[in-house]
A = this chain, B = another copy of it.
Amino acid sequence: MESFEGIVEFVAVAERGGFSSAARQLGCSTSHVSRQVARLEERIGCALLARSTRLVSLTENGSAYYQQCKELVVGLQQANEQVNQQQFNLNGTLRVSAAGGFAEQFVAPVLMVFAQQHPELTVDIDFNSRMVNFVEDGIDFAVRYGELTDSSLIARKLVSRPMMAVASPDYLKQYGEPKHPNHLKNHSCILSNNDHWFFNIDGIQESIKVSGRWRSNNSNAVVEACEQGLGIAYLPKSTFNDAIESDRLVAVLEPFWGKGASSWIVYQNRQFLPLRARLAIDYLIEHISGWGGS
């Protein structure tokens, strides 16, 4: 297999007319340059330079070879400059995998603003909650909610979302208001992702098993069912902003609300994250973490 070894040194000697001058230009020792060129000549079985003490000149073969090697060196410089420029340019496609209502409601709008600020970027958000294959799918980062499973990824907390329990006024009029999380076993609860709700009871986070006649993994559907009086709902507070403002739902069990799980940005643990990813992640953290999670 071909090797580029000695090419840079040979070109430098040819251009500078000597090993010592070439070594100074390359910032290495004269003996290194001497040996690299000698090895190159040995590898290609041809004298490239004619030498006497204090004098070096190109042979006929060396002249021709130099022209070609010079193009290789220039080509490498251009390749490196271009990859360097690309590295500090904001271009290409930002690919995000987002899951959950929070991503839909808050992350997407913020990314929209970010995209407007960077017209040369394309943003591709795939809303799904499946396990992401970062390498295969070329995903820059994912937004995930709850506990994370893959320890090889880097996770940066976006927000801890405080929870809120609500019910419709009609439901409470008919079934009474629960005064403690333990009372929930006597109530109809509207389930979302799982049937254990975490409450802060005397400073301790306790898991309360709940049940009900309605369940959905869509937070909008949960809110509607609650408004219809189908039971008590317990989701991140922001989910109920509109319903609370219009008095369609009212808060219950307020002293016991948990801090709730976190939303995360997760991405590959790798060097040289593309600039677009780094800036987008930083932008999201800056514009969402700072909200205090409401």
Stretch at the interface among A73-81, A113-121, A159-167, A242-250: A73-81
Q: How far is the CA of A5 from the CA of B55 in the complex (A)?
A: 29
Instruction: A1-B27, A52-B133, A65-B82 given; name 12 further pairs at CB < 8 Å.
Output: A2-B80, A4-B72, A45-B84, A45-B87, A46-B272, A47-B273, A47-B274, A50-B134, A50-B138, A57-B136, A68-B78, A72-B79
- Name the residue among A5, A26, A46, A136 with the largest chain B CB count within 10 angstroms: A46
For window 135-183 of chain A, which residues contact chain B by CB distance below 8 Å?
Answer: 135-136, 138
Q: How far is the CA of A80 from the CA of B6 in the complex (A)?
A: 13
Q: Are B78 and A64 in contact (CB under 8 A)?
A: no
List, in ascending order, chain B residues with CB within 8 A of A4's CB: 4-5, 7-8, 72, 76
In the complex, A51 has a CB within 8 A of chain B: yes
Q: Are B83 and A75 in contact (CB under 8 A)?
A: no
Q: Are B45 and A272 in contact (CB under 8 A)?
A: yes
Closest residue on chain B to residue A57 by CB atoms: B135
List, in ascending order, chain B residues with CB within 8 A of A51's CB: 135, 270
Q: Are B134 and A52 in contact (CB under 8 A)?
A: yes
Q: How far is the CA of A93 from the CA of B55 in the complex (A)?
A: 21
List, in ascending order, chain B residues with CB within 8 A of A69's CB: 79
In the complex, A31 has a CB within 8 A of chain B: no
In the complex, A268 has a CB within 8 A of chain B: yes
* Top-10 shortest CB links A-B: A4-B4, A68-B79, A47-B272, A52-B135, A50-B135, A46-B87, A65-B83, A2-B76, A60-B92, A46-B272
Q: How far is the CB of A196 from chain B (nearest CB, A)?
A: 33
Closest residue on chain B to residue A55 by CB atoms: B135
In the complex, A41 has a CB within 8 A of chain B: yes
Q: Are B75 and A68 in contact (CB under 8 A)?
A: yes
In the complex, A192 has a CB within 8 A of chain B: no
Q: How far is the CA of A80 from the CA of B68 in the complex (A)?
A: 9
Q: How far is the CA of A135 from the CA of B54 in the complex (A)?
A: 11
Contact partner of A44 (CB less than 8 A), chosen from B25, B72, B84, is B84
Contact partner of A87 (CB less than 8 A), chosen from B61, B77, B80, is B61
Q: How far is the CA of A41 from the CA of B80 in the complex (A)?
A: 11
Q: Are B136 and A46 in contact (CB under 8 A)?
A: no
Q: How far is the CB of A133 from chain B (nearest CB, A)?
A: 7
